[in-house]
Amino acid sequence: MTERQPRSDQRAQDQDQNEVSLDSANVARPAGAHGYAGAVAVANEPEGPLGRPELATSDTELAVAYEAGVAPKARSQWAYARIRFFRHKLAVLSLIVLVLIGLVALFAERVAPYGFEYIPFTDAEALLENPNLIQESLNRPPQLEGKHLFGTDNLGRDYLSRVIFGLRTSLWVAFFVALLSTAIGTAVGAIAGYYGGVVDNLLMRFTDLILTLPGLAVLLTASAFLGQGDPLKVGLILAALFWTALARLVRGTFLSLREKEYVEAAKASGASDARIIVRHMLPNSLGPIIVNMTLVIAGAILVEAALSFLGFGIQPPNPALGSLISQGQAEGLRTWWLVTFPGLTIVVIALAINFVGDGLRDALDPTQRRVRA
């Protein structure tokens, strides 16, 4: 008859088998409140296939680690934001689309099959070889022959090439407006929120004044008086009106941050106001600033296209998507591709930027728990 082992001995034996010894050299204090990463507990187990010790993964091993007071490796706020962003599938896909569009616009001379103003029947040799070249080149619908994927206009110019060159100009204006308006709005909002009092009242009343102005009327008037057709002038006019929303947003954030303990500690240590704003408060406000900048890019592209369509924005010989739509609209519905393809390009860019901004908002919001697909 088999001798039965006492229950207490069997329990002790099972505990010895499941016990994991922790290397004291790898046990450090948990991550502190200031973001210093704590060490990870590493079990004294056989080495893995790469010659590295395998980390504890079972419930028993994790329980032993927690009982030992060892915290898992701490990640920074930006690391968690990156993880949350890449879980947003639509935002990642939109980011890939934007990168591809940006590369196409950046290398327009190499990607475009023809030049922006290239007219095929101006080539004497080609005209001698094909006397019907003029009739065959004008207002051709989209076709694979001759690589005219977006068709041609009333002068026989390849519209795919014109859209690519116009895309580069529109993106340049949009990014210029986003950077300049973000710099102005951040500076105004930071100064108003940090100092408060009379400075806050003056800056915010000026901001409210800009907000009450009818945007389209101001843009049309400024374009008429300051000049039109130059992408730089159009960008300056747009940036002068796009900074107000960000200024109010940054001001509210700074009003909350200036009451924090680390700001009071920086003041007590003798730090200057500029150092407190730039080194301590501004990094904690980057989340809403980045999200707002992405949305400004989408808005700037749409407004620039509207101005160019109305004849107050970028005009030939400078290429722009809005001016291409305006030129195509004059031809009527018979040449539908002259309006459709530049318009679809603007829609795709605006949607992609908005999806990226949505993903950044979810990623940079520390209270966000639900990740949208």
C-alpha–C-alpha distance, residues 84 and 370, integer Å: 9
Of residues 261 and 1, more confidently modeled: 261
C-alpha–C-alpha distance, residues 112 and 169, integer Å: 14
| pLDDT of the residue at 48 | 43
C-alpha–C-alpha distance, residues 213 and 126, integer Å: 55
Alpha-carbon torsion 264, 265, 268, 272, what sign?
Answer: negative
Of residues 76 and 239, more confidently modeled: 239
| pLDDT of the residue at 67 | 63
Range of lowest pLDDT (120-134, 274-288, 299-313)? 120-134
Has residue 28 got a pLDDT over 80? no
Of 226, 220, 232, the C-alpha closest to 176 is: 232
| pLDDT of the residue at 254 | 92
Residues 106 and 115 sit within 8 Å (Cβ to Cβ): no
Of residues 320 and 4, more confidently modeled: 320
Of 365, 367, 369, the C-alpha closest to 81 is: 365
Size (the chain), residues: 373
Predicted TM-score of the model (pTM): 0.71
Distances (CA, A) of 325 to 16, 47, 329, 359: 77, 65, 6, 30
Has residue 302 got a pLDDT over 60? yes
> Residue 180 — φ and ψ, nearest 5°?
-70, -45
Residues 105 and 167 sit within 8 Å (Cβ to Cβ): yes
Q: In this predicted model, what pLDDT tens digit does every residue of 189-239 receive, in sequence order?
A: 999 999 988 999 999 999 999 888 887 788 888 877 776 667 888 888 889
Domains assigned to the chain: 22-74 (no CATH), 84-364 (1.10.3720.10)
Has residue 365 got a pLDDT over 60? yes
DSSP state of 243: S
Has residue 100 got a pLDDT over 80? yes
Has residue 179 got a pLDDT over 70? yes
| Mean pLDDT of the residues in the chain | 77
> Residue 53 — φ and ψ, nearest 5°?
-65, 140
Has residue 182 got a pLDDT over 80? yes
Q: Environment class of residue 340 by beta-carbon count within 10 Å: exposed (0-12), middle (13-18) or buried (19+)?
A: middle
Distances (CA, A) of 39 to 26, 67, 99, 318: 6, 15, 37, 58
Has residue 46 got a pLDDT over 80? no
Alpha-carbon torsion 221, 227, 229, 235, what sign?
Answer: negative
Model confidence at 62, pLDDT cuts 50, 70, 90, reads low
Query: What percentage of residues in the chain have a pLDDT greater than 70?
Result: 72
Of 258, 247, 245, the C-alpha closest to 196 is: 258
Has residue 8 got a pLDDT over 90? no
| pLDDT of the residue at 10 | 52
Residues 74 and 38 sit within 8 Å (Cβ to Cβ): yes
C-alpha–C-alpha distance, residues 289 and 127, integer Å: 56
Of residues 223 and 292, more confidently modeled: 292
Has residue 363 got a pLDDT over 70? yes
Of residues 342 and 24, more confidently modeled: 342
C-alpha–C-alpha distance, residues 287 and 315, integer Å: 36
What's the whole-number mean pLDDT along residues 89-95?
92
Residues 99 and 107 sit within 8 Å (Cβ to Cβ): no
What's the whole-number mean pLDDT along residues 85-108?
91
| pLDDT of the residue at 45 | 44
Alpha-carbon torsion 338, 341, 347, 353, what sign?
Answer: negative
Of residues 292 and 54, more confidently modeled: 292
What's the whole-number mean pLDDT along residues 38-53?
44
Of residues 54 and 318, more confidently modeled: 318
Distances (CA, A) of 118 to 112, 137, 248, 323: 11, 12, 47, 17
C-alpha–C-alpha distance, residues 282 and 261, integer Å: 15
Model confidence at 114, pLDDT cuts 50, 70, 90, reads confident
Q: In this predicted model, what pLDDT tens digit does every residue of 129-168 receive, in sequence order?
A: 666 666 667 778 888 877 788 888 878 888 889 999 989 8
Q: Identify the three-state secondary structure at position 153.
A: coil
Tokens of 248: 């109010």
What's the whole-number mean pLDDT along residues 43-47?
44
What's the whole-number mean pLDDT along residues 32-53?
43
